[in-house]
Amino acid sequence: DVVYNNIPDDTRKLLHKKTADYLVAQYQSELEEHTNELAYQYSNSNDIEKAFHYLVKAGDESHKVYLLNEAHRYYTEAIACFTNNLERLSDSYLTLIELQYKVGIINQILGKLDNALTSLNEALKTSKNQQIKDFIPKIYHQISRVFSIKGDYDKAFHYIHEAITISSTMNNPFD
């Protein structure tokens, strides 16, 4: 750690990028086995696009096998990567909404219901601000589920009603 911390920041980022690029070149046919390492290396480099890509991918792979705390960490890092680099990742708002939604679901599964509501409301806010309306009924539905678990059936009913009302004007809103 002492040696690593004494390497100049630009040099350290370049070394992480070269390491990640080497892994990609070496393990092209088996990249999925190295997703976590690629997420780490690229997120410590200046290659923001690849960092975002591999953080999302590592989160998805962790989520798939129910490593929920790990998935939560990767998704949260991907969200931070996005919000800190809006100018370079602005075409990925749908992915951001999906990440906020997934963090909400993970928090719900982990029993962190207030955190789940916070993440789901962030997804809802992003959907509305970016006018990505297709995801809104799904988010309302999930918020309804969280309120139902909390025993707040009035709010659960309110949000499921919103989901149904909006989805009635759309094609396949829960796909």
- DSSP, residue by residue, 105-149: HHHHHTT-HHHHHHHHHHHHHHHHHTT-GGGHHHHHHHHHHHHHH
Task: Kindly report, residue by residue over 82-123, the tens digit of the pLDDT.
Answer: 999 988 887 889 999 999 999 999 999 999 999 999 999 999
In angstroms, the CA 51 to CA 107 distance is 23
Is the whole-model pTM more than 0.85? yes
Q: What is the DSSP letter of 152?
A: -
Which has the closest alpha carbon to 69: 114, 32, 34, 111? 111
In angstroms, the CA 48 to CA 28 distance is 20
Share of the chain above pLDDT 90, in %: 80
pLDDT interval class at 36 (50, 70, 90): very high
**Six-digit token string for 146:** 């969280």
* 174: three-class secondary structure by DSSP: coil
Rounded average pLDDT over 51-76: 96
Task: Kindly report, residue by residue over 6-27, the tens digit of the pLDDT.
Answer: 888 899 999 999 999 999 999 9
pLDDT computed for residue 94 by the predictor: 93
As a whole number, the mean pLDDT across the chain is 93
pLDDT interval class at 142 (50, 70, 90): very high
pLDDT computed for residue 6 by the predictor: 82
